[in-house]
Amino acid sequence: MIWFLIVYSAKVRALIAPIKVDCVICGGGPAGLAAGIELASSVEKNKMRDIVVLERRERADEFDQGKAYLYLIDKRGRRWTDRHALTDVIGARGVSSANYTITRVYPDGRGLETVTPPLSSPQGIWIPRAQFLAVLAEKAVKISQENKCSLQLEYRALITGIEMNNENGVFVHVKMTNNQNNQIEERCYAPKSLLIGCDGLDSMVRSAMDVPPCVILPSPSAGLCYKIMSVPSNFKVKDLSTQKLVQTEPNRAYTLRSAATQRQRNIRLGFLPVAPSVRIRTANVIKPKNHHVWKLQSLDEARAFFKSSFPQLPKPFADAELEPFVQAAKNPDRIASFPASRYSPIVSKVCTDKKIPCLLLGDAASAFPPDLGQGVNSALEDVLVLGNLINSQSLSQQPLTDAFQKERAPANKALAKIVRCAFPFQYDQAPLRSKIFFVGFLTRLLLSRLLPFLIAPPAALAVLKGEPYVDVWRRAERTTWLFRSIFFSACIVSSFFFLTTKQRLIPPSFFSFVA
């Protein structure tokens, strides 16, 4: 029966006339939309007038609770938004990170405290994912009209397969759902000039390219489970030092500490800043899989747990926000978790005898935990590099793939290595290791200011400044090697000193006794 369905499906696909376009972009997230804008803006040079972006969601600004996080568009990402005059548009819908502070709301008499975070990007902009995608979608429509090219944003498009046919080229098979009657239509797109994979961690484009598997690197924050909770943007908190209600401000960041002190019950809620026009504010619960928050068996238990954990919240969470925790206890394998750092050794390749260039951008090329917020910024840098290469030379297939591989593969590898060690203990998952890490972090920071010609600053700070990933990792490795050399040299000198002075420090009778 299964074999019959496979054969039948293949025959149906064969009957579908392929729609020939210049470029197909799989995935309509930040990388996919930005890539479409980049190609459409330089249509006179790349000659690609028919560009299709395929996305399975219903629309660009769709609110997805599982992905309702905020992006920090830092200096690196702003290089691309500046190119397309989008920085001010994003700034109008987001919040600047200049003079960024966090207000801690304690569950006891300490009340409220405002502090400066250890990591901040003064040139960054906080913006919800849905808002950012809406900005990109609007720009895509506008630039398509201005440049008189066809940049189609196809939503509710489920990619069912990508076929690499040596004789006939590349075929992208899609199930399209009609917005009016919900009928499903089978389509097949055949890119003539370029295929771009922006389809995430489990990229179908990467699989179809038949490249070596991703290199996976262990990370202290990999595997941490998370759940996004939402509240009204103008929610109130109680200052327990005065027993007064305090109205939160949307454009300020807050962190709510838990009243529980046991490691398996303690949690923390962090609310990043949003524009006043945004009605919903989100916070992440990030804890290991064995934490009590993932073992709540009923709504009553969940209500009691969050009520006792956050006495500084006068209004309880809605049942709709608590139900996923109950479901997590019933289906622990379905809890969302951070991926391990990984990168694809090959990010570009010429495929089939038709010599169609295939590129990987964003999470399809490299993925990692959100420790440094570099997912969106590295994706925008991928697109920026692609645009620079296309604008600097004619699209002659092989040179483009070679140049893109040379530019982005080392950067992706360096970033995956940076993320696993730059700031992975910010989630309180290992208290002792967190303390050791922060001692090392502050030591590097202090020494880098005293000896800037010799000691590199912490990698996390260099990344937020927009420095090249390869340079950041090279300097970090050099500093680590220097520290290790000093440590081992000190051990050798100490051992030599001890051995040469033991006769004076310890009576000879002791050694004769031991012997």
User: pLDDT tens, 46-85?
Assistant: 778 899 999 999 988 887 777 878 999 999 999 999 999 9
To the nearest 10 degrees (0 to 180), the angle between helices 398-422 and 374-392 is 160
**∠ at Cα 322 (317, 328), nearest 5°?**
160
- For residue 352, the model assigns a pLDDT of 87
And the tokens for 77? 């990402």
Mean pLDDT of the region 285-303:
93
Looking at 364, 397, 419, the residue that finishes a domain is 419
Distance between CA atoms of residues 104 and 116, nearest Å: 11
Same domain, 325 and 466: no
- Residues 475 and 397 placed together within one structural domain of the fold: no
* CB proximity list for 475: less than 8 A, separation 6 or greater: 456, 459, 462
Same domain, 288 and 192: no
Kindly state whether residue 4 falls inside one of the protein's structural domains.
no
Q: What is the mean pLDDT of residues 435-457?
A: 90
Residue 7 pLDDT greater than 50, yes or no:
no
On whether residue 513 sits in a domain, the answer given is no
Residue of higher predicted confidence among 255 and 395: 255
Total domains in the chain come to: 3
Same domain, 296 and 323: yes
What sign has the CA pseudo-torsion 263, 264, 266, 270? positive
Same-domain check for residues 319 and 362: no
In a domain, 114, yes or no: no
Q: How many CB atoms lie within 10 A of CB 210?
A: 10
Cα distance between the two ends of the chain: 81
Q: Which two tokens mark 353? A: 């005898």
Give the integer Cα–Cα distance in Å for 515 and 511.
Answer: 6
**pTM of the entire structure?**
0.90
How sure is the predictor about 344, in pLDDT bands with cuts at 50, 70 and 90? very high
What is the 8-class DSSP label of residue 65? Answer: G
Task: Kindly state whether residues 381 and 273 are assigned to the same domain.
Answer: no
Q: Indicate if 178 and 63 belong to the same structural domain.
A: yes
The answer to the question of residue 424 being in a domain is: no
Q: What percent of the chain has pLDDT over 90?
A: 63
Domain range for 286:
225-334
Considering Cα of 404, then 166, then 149, then 53, what sign does the dihedral take? negative
